[in-house]
Amino acid sequence: MSASSVLLPLDALGRHRLKVAFVGTHGVGKTTLCFDLAAQLKRLDLGVDIVKEVARRCPLPINEDTTLDAQAWILHTQIAEEIEACGAYEAVVCDRSVLDNYAYLVARAGRQAELEPLVGHWVRGYHALFKVPVTGAPLFDGKRAVSLTFQQDIDRIIDDLVQEFDVPVTYLDPADRDGWTAAALTALGLPTQPPQIDLFSTRE
């Protein structure tokens, strides 16, 4: 536990905790944003962890060839890793949320009535969701699908689910990519620069 003077919101257990997620389709820069925001939070003297994109570790097919079982594995693994991280750290930054993981399931198998109560409940546990816009086609990195159509389909489904579940989301400005981390900090009510101590100040 850090000695940070930053006051974080209370979680369901009455602890000062912060859990945020960057949501969006693949190939839009969510992972870079997660590390950038985590670094900024560390500079505020907070204990921080990142829940990395679990789909990359899925033992079953992903992308266009995914299955209902694969997406169920991803969804439940995401929840499990968020629980673990939130139990140990003051601030948790998630590379995806249950909402956009569910979007890939919807794209492959349609809406799942038995999963929607879980998704609807869990998505309200984030203190903030930041939607990362599409600014270009995805590049192949050994895992990521490169179809622009598939990328845009997922982006549309995410927007539809945001409306369906009626969850607050901050949409990042596609024209200000360099300002996305600062925009997230501002939306969270946190300083965009760590407090500095003036070592050269003198007392009157």
Confidence at residue 192, expressed as pLDDT on a 0 to 100 scale: 85
User: 5 pLDDT exceeds 80?
Assistant: no
Each domain of the chain, given as residue ranges in start order, spans 18-187
What pLDDT, in 10s, does the model give residues 86-139? 999 999 999 999 999 999 999 999 999 999 999 999 999 999 999 999 998 888
Token representation of residue 102: 């569910």
DSSP tag of 81: H
Confidence at residue 67, expressed as pLDDT on a 0 to 100 scale: 93
Q: Give the span between the Cα atoms of 101 and 106, in whole angstroms.
A: 9
Alpha-carbon 184 to chain mean position? 11
Q: Give the span between the Cα atoms of 126 and 166, in whole angstroms.
A: 13
What pLDDT, in 10s, does the model give residues 77-94? 999 999 999 999 999 999
Taking domain 18-187, whether its CATH number is 3.40.50.970 is answered by no
User: 166 pLDDT exceeds 90?
Assistant: yes
State the virtual CA torsion across 130, 72, 116, 49 in degrees, nearest 10. -30
User: 68 pLDDT exceeds 80?
Assistant: yes
Residues sharing a CB contact under 8 Å with residue 49, sequence separation 6 or more, in sequence order: 38, 85, 88, 89, 91, 92, 93
